[in-house]
Every structure is written in C-alpha cells, then in structure tokens.
Amino acid sequence: MIKQTLLVPLAGCLLAAACAQAIAAPNPYSNFVVFGDSLNDAGQFTDTGGPAGATQRFTNRTGPVYLDGSGEFRSLNSTQLLGGRLGFSADQTAASTSAVRANQGLVDGNNWAVGGYRTDQILDSITTESATGERTRPGYLPTNNFRADPNALYYISGGGNDFLQGRVLNTAQANTAANQLADSVQTLQTAGAKYIVVWLLPDLGLTPAVNGTPLQASISQLSTDFNQQLVTRLAGINAEIIPLNIPLLLQESFADPARFGLATDQNLTATCFSGSGCTQNAVYGINSATPDPSKLIYNDSVHPTEAGQKLIADYAYSLLSAPWELTLLPEMAHATLRAHQDELRSQWQSDWENWQAVGQWRAIVAGGGQHLDFDSQSSGASADGSGYNLNIGGSYRLNEAWRVGVAAGFYRQNLDAGSNDSDYKLNSYLATAFAQFQQNRWWADAALTGGKLDYDNLERKFDMGAGEGGEKGDTDGHLWAFSTRLGYDIAQPGSEWHLSPFISADYAEVEVDGYSENSTRSTALTFDDQTRDSKRLGVGLQGKYNFTRQTQVFGEYAYEREYEDDVQKVNMALNSLPANDFTLEGYTPQSHLNRVSLGVSHKLSADLALRGGYTFRKDDDFTQQGISVGVALDF
C-alpha cells in the first residue's frame, strides 16, 4: 500500500513446506490467482535484509529476532496462508513477476499483487503488463490468451495506495478509485472468471499512519465512500463475488482483542510492531524487552503483522468453506428418511409370509440408533454424526393378499462437520402410510412418507486468528417421499427358507428453509432455501430362514442408482452486506448406493415377537449404519 519509491526491504517466500501448508481438505478450485497491492504481495521484490535469495513481503519477520540481517524470512501473508489451506503449493501461491525467482530458475506463481500498486495499476496487471521495477512481463490475461479460468478462485484487494499517493481527496475521487477496482473484477468476469473474492478497503483512518491525526475523520469517511461505491458496482457484476468485510473485521478485533489473542492493554490502532512510519509499541514492539508481533495488528503504519495476516486468511476461509458444511443439512434429512424406511422394511421382512390373521391388527414399537460418516470431497466437508430414534405404528390385514398400515417416527441426529467440528442438530418428525401385497409368491409394497424437520441448533465453527470463531442459527424444513418394491419368492410354498429378487423405485424431496445466523459480525451469513431431490432405481435380493417355529433370521442386499447426483449449491450473503449475495458449491451426492441389512426375530408368545436389526449403507464418500430393537403385538 506504500509507494514503490518508499518500499522497505521485506522477505520472499518461506520454505516450500511452510508456504503450502497443504492439508487434505476440500478445494473445488482449479487455481488461486491474486491481484492487488502490498497487502497481498507474496514477494515481488528482493529482500535485501533477509537471507540470500529471499523475496520480501509486507509483514514482520518470523522471529525470534525479527530484525534485518537476522537470517529470518518474512512471515507468510494472508493469500499464502489461504492458498496453502486450500491445498495450493508454495510455487502456485508465489509472486508472478519476481526477478529473484526468475534468476533462480523458479516458476512464476499466480500472485500478481505488487506493493505500491494503485487501482489503475492493478487493472493494468490484468489487462496489459505487470511491472515491479525489477522485472516486467505481460499481464495475467495476455499471458493466458485473454481467457480467465472459470474454475479458478480469484482474489483482489486495492485502493489504499490511491489514498496514500494523494489521488483520493474527495468523494468523487474515492468513487473513481473504487470503480477502477470494480473494473478489474468486471474484466476478469468478462474473460470467464466466475469466483472472485474482493476486499472492502480497511478504514484507513484507523491505521497508525492516520489514527489520531487531523485527517482521521475525513480519511475514514472517504474509506466508507470508496466501499459504498465498490459494493454497489460489485452487486451488478454477473459473477459469484465473495466480499470480505475487512473494515468490520478490524473493528471487531479492536473492540474485543482477547477474542483474537491480541493484547488487551495496548492501543492497537496507534502503535505498531516495527516502528516504521508509526509509534513502536513499547511492550511488544521490535525493540522492546518482549517483542511479539502476534499481539499486535499492525507491523508498520499500514500493513498487518503475522497475527493480522492469519486473521484475514481465516476470515476468507470461513466464508469459502461454509457451503461445504451447510449443504450437508439436506443430507442429514435424507439419512433420517432412509433410516425410517429401513426400520419399516426390517419389520416387513420379519413378517414375510407370516402376517397376522385377516381382520387383525399388528402393533409395532421400535427404538434404535444410527451413525453417519461423510468423507471429504472437493467441495464437501468431512463429517460424522450419530442419533437415536423411536418408531411406533401398526398394520391391519384387509384380506389374504393385502395389508395396510401407518407408522410414525421421531429421530434426533447430531452431525460434527469440518476441521473445527461444527455442530449441527436435527429433530425429524416422520409419518408413513403403507400398503403391502403378498400372493402366489409375488409380493409388493409401497409407502408414502411426510415429515417436519427442526434444525434446532446449527453452530458453524472456524479458525479466527489465535482463537476459534462461531456463528449460530436455526431453521426448519420438510420432506416427503414415495417408495415401492416388487419381488418374487423363488422358494416353494411352505419352505423353511425364502429367497426373492426384487426391483425398487424411490423418490424423495427435502427442503431446508433459509435462515440467518444470529449476529451482525463480519463472519455471520444468511443462507437461502436448499432443496435436494433424490430419484433412485434399484435391484436387490432378500432372504429369510426359519431356524425354529419361534426364531428366524432375515437379510437383504440392494444396489440403487441415484439419478439426482449434481453438485449441491447454496446461495448466501454476509449479514453485514445483504445485497451482495453469491452462490458456491457444496456436497455432491454419489451416483450409487449399496445397502445390506440383517435381522433376527423371535416369538415370545403366539401374539408377541421381539425383533432386532442392523443396516449398512455405503457409497464412495458416505457410510450410514443403523441398529434397531422392536416388538410386534397382534390384537
């Protein structure tokens, strides 16, 4: 954010392993491309005060000495931290136009941000050329045949140098600078870019460079003017633009520093770590008895310390990762529905060729538990959960061939998702009407299910600086489903065993109502409605064997093809910026399911039977298990 003629020596990329920080985590993006100024510069310039061959960044050194000549690199900036967490390598997140890297024979990275760039120069780095003073090369679009990768994640900040270089002195000039930054976003979108993260300009009046001076009020107002024009322009660009409300994030850190692990007894807006262009903090500054940049927001007059860099990276990741977890909410409901259907089928299997007498009722009561396990996908978070259920119902035999019935179920499901174990809870209230046919070795069943969904505690958790952040909400939903099967028993009448191939068809629709998380913090989001349909056809084989007149075992295997397997998406917006919504990808249902169920039934008397069952359902990224114990009573 400072002029190129005033640049101070800063460091280049750290060791590759440290830069990448790659972990096994979701990443739906093919590339990570950055534009901006010194706030995002990953090392375009030579670090004359660092180790040989190092490049500079605009933050503190890694310590413990922190001084030039100490042999220490500069800490990673927020884009490198974010890129590493998304799984991109150190080379991918490195500077695009570094003479140091070029001289070392290293590949150019995808970070085009250059310290000192104004908004017009950021646009030039996209459309014409990138120039650092040490090296010049064609800009991003000329380098890439004037096409932007639609599957890449783009990341842009800028505007500070327009102020610091005296080009923003009134609202009209602030609007001009904001329009130039928005033009960069528009240009990328026109070239094909779809996903673009954009910073709102920090309140420059709260930086040590301006804080406490006569210019503070006017600079703060012009920063606000800049952001108002920027968000207005961004709302009109046809791309998925993820705005980062950096001004609000910094206000929160100043108001509650303990939440982020920052010093609680220091002036975080008027002091800095290095003393470069500002008042060095007496307790944690570089020349103090206890230097510690992790306790301060600012490294110098305008640039963040390692703590500020991590805070910004965590903030961006919390927004990008939200749909990876939230698109699991409909999957929780589908899993509950399947557990309910499994319980009914287990009862039907135990009753196979053993219905109650014509004109008689059979009541059922069953309780059980279930466990879910979602593996991480490119745009879906890993998660696991458990729950319990209670089902009651009954059937009435109309005649020799037909039986009808009803059942109701209550299900409680907990799901822990993501790297911070976000906690999502669902209460489901389900009701089913069913009919069964059984004659001349042919059999069939059909069931219609409806249900109310109560997501009574949705707690999204994420890293936030030195601590953990979280946002809470709750919502409702509903589901309905229809399922049917047709089979033929190949065993002879009166046999002790039964074996039957069958075909099945299932349709289900789950809708989760949109909701807003219960705060106005920078991390709080509002989510639109989510609808997830399921259409499945299947084939299977079920069997049963009578050990004695009282005891029988039964089981089933089914293979089902899912025809609604498109990636799920959710539209959302920051509560603090409700007009700037965006849609991101989440969980992808698998195209097939394998299901195995086993059970045993034992008659305690002529009218009372005890039953137990186990069900296992598996696809490439999803596992569901359930157990149940129930009783059936004829009357």
Catalytic residues: 38, 300, 303
Long-range contacts at 214-223 (CB < 8 A, ≥ 24 apart) = 219/163, 222/163, 222/168, 222/169, 222/170, 222/171, 222/174, 223/163, 223/174, 223/247
Both ends of the chain: CA-CA distance in Å?
Answer: 82
Beta bridge partners of 303: none
Q: Alpha-carbon torsion 147, 151, 155, 156, what sign?
A: positive
Can you tell me the distance from the alpha carbon of 341 to that of 385, in angstroms, rounded to the nearest whole number? 19
Rg (CA), the chain: 31
* Residue among 65, 72, 70, 32 nearest 57 (CA): 72
DSSP 266-292: S-TTTEESS-SSSEEPTTTSTTSSS--
**Tokens for 620?**
């490439």
Residue 254, SS3? helix
* Residue among 384, 410, 396 nearest 359 (CA): 396
* Residue among 75, 61, 7 nearest 38 (CA): 7
Q: What does the chain come to in residues?
A: 635
Can you tell me the distance from the alpha carbon of 603 to that of 391, in angstroms, rounded to the nearest whole number? 20
Can you tell me the distance from the alpha carbon of 528 to that of 531, in angstroms, rounded to the nearest whole number? 10
**Tokens for 123?**
């646009």
- Give residue 392's Cα distance to chain centre: 37
Contact 536, 561 (CB under 8 A): yes
Residue 440, SS3? coil
Cβ density class 540-575: b for 16+ within 10 Å, e for less: bebbbebeeeeebbbbbebebebeeeeebbbbbbbb
Can you tell me the distance from the alpha carbon of 430 to that of 263, in angstroms, rounded to the nearest whole number? 51
Whether the link from the prior residue into 64 is cis, omega within 30° of 0, is yes
